[in-house]
Homo-oligomer: A and B are copies of this chain.
Amino acid sequence: MEAYQHILLAADFTAHCDRVARRAADLAGIYQSKLSVCHAVDSLPIAESVYGPIIPFDGDLTAELVAAAEKQLAILGATYGIPEDRQWVVIGSPKTEILLLAEEHKTDLIVVGSHGRHGLGLLLGSTASSILHHAKCDVMAVRLTDAGK
């Protein structure tokens, strides 16, 4: 079986998401793949939210979120040996931006957290599901539970 050449870790920084990063790093180690990490800062109203429409972030808040995400990715990068030029913060819908990055950089595996279908998971779960539907490459969905197992 061919080894994965380039794995993209989609980091969402929710509780226990380190499990997703560890699995991505584990697979990258096993297959000797290049590993990149991305995080999408959503600046758009989330029309499909079950809680009703969410007001778009203003510019300053978006800049703060981007800076915070960059710090988080730097920590992940240091932990798992991902160089700075493969730590990508993008602004926009996670569903769309993660797929665009994957195509642009020709990744052959996306590793993403999969949340339960309750509470926050209703919202976050849809990102994993949309990635699975639309990705042109393989997708590993790492199950995240309240217990973080």
Chain A residues near B (Cβ < 8 Å): 1, 22-23, 25-26, 30, 114, 117, 125, 128-129, 132-143, 145
Q: B residues within 8 A CB of A143?
A: 135-139
Q: How far is the CB of A8 from chain B (nearest CB, A)?
A: 13
Q: B residues within 8 A CB of A128?
A: 132
Give the contacting residue for A117; candidates B26, B134, B137; CB below 8 A: B134
A22, A30, A138: most-surrounded residue (chain B CB, <10 A): A138
Q: How long is the Cα–Cα vector from A23 to B109 in the complex, in angstroms? A: 12
Instruction: Closest B residue to A25 by CB, please name it.
Output: B1
Q: Please judge, given known A-B contacts A1-B26, A30-B30, whether A129 and B137 are in contact too, CB under 8 Å.
A: no
